[in-house]
Amino acid sequence: MTNPSSDFTLTFDNRFTEALPADPITGSARRQVLSSCYSFVKPTSVSSPTLVAYSKEVATQIGLSEQDCQSTLFTDVFAGNSELEGMQHYAQCYGGHQFGNWAGQLGDGRAINLGEVINNDGEHFCLQLKGSGETPYSRTADGLAVLRSSVREFLCSEAMFHLGVPTTRALSLVTTGEDVVRDMFYDGRPEKEPGAIVCRVAPSFLRFGSYQIFTSRDDLTTLKTLVDHTINTEFPHLGAPSVEVYIEWFKEVTERTAEMIAHWMRVGFVHGVMNTDNMSILGLTIDYGPYGWLENYDPNWTPNTTDATNKRYRFNNQSPIAQWNLLQLANAIYPLIEQAEPLRDILTHYVEHYNQTVQAMRAQKLGMEHYDDALHQSLHEVLQLAETDMTLFYRLLANVDLESQQTDEQLLAPLMNAYYDLDSLTDEYKQAIYKWLRRYQLAINNEGVSNQQRQQRMNKVNPKYVLRNYLAQLAIDDAEKGDFDLVNTLLECLRHPYDEQPDMERFSEKRPDWARVRAGCSMLSCSS
Ligand code: AMP
Ligand code: MG
């Protein structure tokens, strides 16, 4: 895949490191880093980097051609072996609440930033290698990432982008040629796995925990410097930082967060680890770990085995958790504002904004102009009566003919492929789904929406292709054997999630039985 002859450059404008205080100590010795937003630290070189995949859209955005991406230099740079002129390597300091408890300093334990690229349109993109060695924030861990979790992050962040969900992006995925030892299920059976590095790309990787850390240390000077920098660079439309602008900023962060969660609910995404260090200040989906996609519609599902008991981060709890996380951010910035009421009002506004957004989204998923709460609630119940694939159900619902005279059986027929077990469709179940379909038909006819109009609307918001958990696992199985075709084919398929792609039909199929209990398909741990 690589072509040694091509060379390229990137233009860097490292606003973060230029404006913000640096840790005076360099190197990766573990330490508490005080009064600094980051530490200078270089990636660890790897022995034998190989390019697995790259995103051509992200490459274009930062000014790289496909030829550039296929060069030896590209693989070397994004494996951390070569440095381009203008790059600045650093790891960010942040803290966070993990599973509801304050965890103190966390930071980029296995992420090393390469600096900020500026493209021809003047847009900034931070590049960040995930899995390229130890930093001061690595605590007891190795700073590395395995191929399994890197394939998952690479494919999912690109899939989310093409689904229209706010997210960090991924430029590249390389294997390092080195083994990494992981105890995948924390059960005392460590194994060697291939190491890999993803280059993540986002306008900023700042998280709620980036602000929390300074407040927790009573370092209001650095807190203010960081907040002002964030507003100046990422929220310039709000104007020069002031108390009023801090409040407006918090409001915008809550709205963006609400909109991101509404998108997750639309596509059936469960993040799995919504700790405050994994909440982007830009409202982007960030840190793809033990995430999962709802297959059968189970609002209480969480993919994360570490969270199996309390299910704090289950599908249906994502909005309340986002609000809880925003409350922690409010606490963190309170010292700059010193008024509780506006912050409290904004947290209340979060719920209103989320409800409004999610209701509009639910109406769209049904092809309707107006949200009908009773219709939605009854669907929410019916979908749980029999194992029903969420993605297929909504996609197929667009094919149901609501215009002509249909028997109950005819109405249901297009939906049959959404069910995991046809034998479980009892008469009682059938009566419930018929009843719901008739209600739906009435609501649609009252709005005067034609079949065609409805299908067009629905197919824009109900994807045909998502990164089903078992698909990611199949790509991982092949990649671990050195075959990267499926990673690349899935990447291609997921670039057009709303289109019918006849040659990709197999990737729209519901979870096969073997995947029901297989590790990596239905249950994931934080080990990555
Ligand atoms: P996460 O659960 O991925 O959000 O990570 C939580 C914290 O643990 C962050 O500070 C990470 O940088 C750190 N971390 C996770 N895995 C590793 C690793 N293999 N080496 C060093 N730090 C890690
Ligand atoms: Mg994290």
Residues 335, 249, single domain; the answer is yes
Question: Of the residues 349, 365, 381, which one is the last residue of a structural domain?
Answer: 365
Look at the alpha carbons of 243, 247, 250, 256 in this order and tell me if their dihedral is positive or negative: negative
Tell which atom from ligand 1 comes closest to the C-alpha of 144. 19
Place of tokens 């203008």: 86
Residues 201, 249, single domain; the answer is no
Instruction: Evaluate whether residue 234 is within a structural domain.
Output: yes
Residue nearest to atom 13 of ligand 1 (CA): 109
Instruction: Evaluate whether residue 280 is within a structural domain.
Output: yes
Question: Of the residues 154, 175, 208, which one is the last residue of a structural domain?
Answer: 208
Residues 358, 436, single domain; the answer is no
Question: Of the residues 448, 472, 487, which one is the last residue of a structural domain?
Answer: 448
CA atoms within 13 A on the CB side of 523: 11
Q: Is 277 a catalytic residue?
A: yes
Residues 291, 160, single domain; the answer is no
Instruction: Evaluate whether residue 268 is within a structural domain.
Output: yes
Distances (CA, A) of 426 to 10, 53, 406, 420: 61, 46, 21, 13
Tokens (6 digits) for 349: 């506004």
Residue nearest to atom 11 of ligand 1 (CA): 109
- Predicted confidence at residue 417, as pLDDT, reads 98
- Predicted confidence at residue 6, as pLDDT, reads 73
Tell which atom from ligand 1 comes closest to the C-alpha of 526. 2
Ligand nearest to the CA of 168: 2
Calculate the dihedral angle through the C-alpha atoms of 221, 224, 226, 228, rounding to the nearest 10 degrees: -140
Residues 149, 87, single domain; the answer is yes
Residues 345, 425, single domain; the answer is no
Residue nearest to atom 18 of ligand 1 (CA): 143
Residues 410, 320, single domain; the answer is no
Can you tell me whether residue 144 is helix, strand or coil?
strand
Residues 209-240 pLDDT 10s: 999 999 999 999 999 999 999 999 999 999 99
Residues 377, 442, single domain; the answer is yes
Ligand 1 pocket by Cβ (under 6 Å): 106-110, 137-138, 141-144, 273, 277-278, 287, 289, 526
Residues 181, 100, single domain; the answer is yes
Give average pLDDT by consecutive 10-residue segment, the chain, 528 residues: 73 98 96 98 98 98 97 98 98 98 98 98 98 97 97 98 98 98 87 97 98 98 98 98 98 98 98 98 98 97 93 98 98 98 98 98 98 98 98 98 96 98 96 98 97 98 98 98 98 98 98 89 82
Instruction: Evaluate whether residue 328 is within a structural domain.
Output: yes
Instruction: Evaluate whether residue 524 is within a structural domain.
Output: no
Instruction: Evaluate whether residue 455 is within a structural domain.
Output: no
Report how far residue 176's alpha carbon sits from residue 45's, in angstroms, rounded to the nearest whole number. Answer: 9
- Predicted confidence at residue 4, as pLDDT, reads 59
Residues 277, 419, single domain; the answer is no
Residues 50, 198, single domain; the answer is yes
Instruction: Evaluate whether residue 29 is within a structural domain.
Output: yes
Place of tokens 């006819």: 445
- Predicted confidence at residue 362, as pLDDT, reads 98
Query: Would you list the DSSP string of 308-360?
Result: TTT-TT-GGGHHHHHHHHHHHHHHHHHHHH--HHHHHHHHHHHHHHHHHHHHH
**Domain residues for 384?**
373-448
Instruction: Evaluate whether residue 93 is within a structural domain.
Output: yes
Number of domains making up the chain: 3
Residues 416-455 pLDDT 10s: 999 999 999 999 999 999 999 999 999 999 999 999 999 9
Residues 176, 244, single domain; the answer is no
- Entry pTM: 0.97
In sequence order, the 6+-apart residues with CB closer than 8 A to the CB of 477 are: none
Catalytic pick from 68, 277, 372, 389?
A: 277
Task: Write out 259-306 in H/E/C secondary structure.
Answer: HHHHHHHHHCEECCCCCHHHCECCCCECCCCCCEECCECCCCCCCEHH
Ligand nearest to the CA of 149: 1
